[in-house]
Structure 1
Amino acid sequence: MTFEGIKEQFEKYASEGKKMFTTSSFQSHSIVLLHIISRINKDIQVVFINTGYHFPETVEFKDRVSQEFGLEVIDLRSNTPKFMQRGTDGRLLFTSDPDHCCYLNKTQPVDALLMQNDIWINGVRADQSAVRKAMKMEQPAPHGTIRFHPMLDWNAKMIYQYQKEYNLPKHPLENSGYLSIGCEPCTRKVDPEMMEREARWYGMSKTECGLHTDLVK
């Protein structure tokens, strides 16, 4: 979808009285959508899902980007304290049950946020995974909310070209070999033969955190 197409869709939602928000992981490739939003409507709420496990560099990058783009970013946190996020062996869930860890720290908080909004602007791209390739530009989500995927038909080359055109900042860990950056315990550097998202939950049969599997219909 082009910039003009995204702008037109935002204006349509606004004219219908729809309440919009977006979530961002604040990776280099994800700030393209944030920059587009900043050019169209800075009043759209930007949500950073703060799991408490992010790299310090990600938090610093979030602060820098939000200031440069003039966006107000809110932190969304789990209602379940970390001392309760342990398995029967006493270990934190990211070591024993990463799916449940993601549910408590990402999926459950966003599910609650959906109840307060109409449109979830989401930056998934079809070229990122098989799950995302099967998605549509607009899809229903829980609680009567609509997921809008304006970047779905963008690819890595288009992201790079946009970054270059607008001289967008890069996540500080990207030059160290990190391309898909999530929570620190579940992220590793990308090897040359790996797909981008294979660096997440490496060695596990897991490629999504639940946001794009549980919170979509």
Structure 2
Amino acid sequence: MRFEEIQHRIEQYKSQGKTLFTTSSFQSHSLVLLHILSRIDNTIPVYFINTGYHFPETVKFKDQVADEFGLNIIDLKSDVPKFMQRDPMGKLLFTSDPDHCCYLNKTRPVDAMLLSHDIWINGVRADQSATRAAMKEEQPAKYGCVRFHPMLDWNSKMIWQYQKEYDLPRHPLESSGYVSIGCEPCTRRLDPDMQEREARWFGMNKVECGLHTDLINK
């Protein structure tokens, strides 16, 4: 979708009395959607899923982007304290059960947002994975909420061109070889022969956190 189409759809939702929100990981490529939303309506709440495991650089970058774009950013945290996020051996869940770790720190907090909002503006792209390629531009989620995927038909070249046109800031870890940046324990630098998402949960047979598998109706 192009800017005008995204703007029209958002204005249409608002005219229908729909409540909107978006989420962001504040990676460089995710800033395109945030910048577009800031041009359309910067009061739409942007939830930063604060797992407590993010790189310090990501948290600092989030604050920088909030200031530059004039966004309404809200931290979204798990209601389960870290000392309870351990397996029977006492190890933190990201070491032994990353799926459950993601559920507690990402999926469950956003699940609650679906109860209180009508439209989830989500920046997934079809070129990122087979799971995302199977998604539709508008797709039902839980509790009657609808996922709106305005970036679905964008590719990495289009993202780069928009970043260049508007001189968007870049995540500080990109210069160190990080491309897909999530929680620090589950993110590694990208090797030349790896695809973007393979830098996440490396060696764990896992490519999604649950936000785009559990919180969507096919």
TM-score (norm 1): 1.00
Q: CA RMSD in A?
A: 0.3
Q: 1:159 aligned to 2:145? A: no
- SS at the partner of 1:173? helix
Partner of residue 30, structure 2: 30
- SS at the partner of 1:191? coil
For structure 1, the residue ranges without an aligned partner over 5 or more in a row are: none
CA distance in 2 between partners of 1:100 and 1:138 (Å): 27
CA distance in 1 between partners of 2:73 and 2:44 (Å): 10
**Partner letter of residue 167 of structure 2?**
N
Q: 1:98 aligned to 2:98? A: yes
CA distance in 1 between partners of 2:115 and 2:72 (Å): 20
TM-score (norm 2): 0.99
CA distance in 2 between partners of 1:93 and 1:60 (Å): 25
* Off by >6 Å, runs of 4+ in structure 1: none
Count of aligned pairs: 217
**Partner letter of residue 180 of structure 2?**
S
CA shift for structure 1 position 163? 0.1
Partner of residue 21, structure 1: 21
Q: 1:214 aligned to 2:214? A: yes
For structure 2, the residue ranges without an aligned partner over 5 or more in a row are: none
Partner of residue 39, structure 1: 39
Deviation string, structure 1 residues 45-67 (Cα, Å, up to 9, x no partner): 10000000000000000000010
Structure holding more helix per residue: 2
CA shift for structure 1 position 204? 1.1
- SS at the partner of 2:47? strand
Partner of residue 89, structure 1: 89
- SS at the partner of 2:113? helix
CA shift for structure 1 position 190? 0.1
Q: 1:52 aligned to 2:55? A: no
CA distance in 2 between partners of 1:5 and 1:96 (Å): 44
**Partner letter of residue 59 of structure 2?**
V
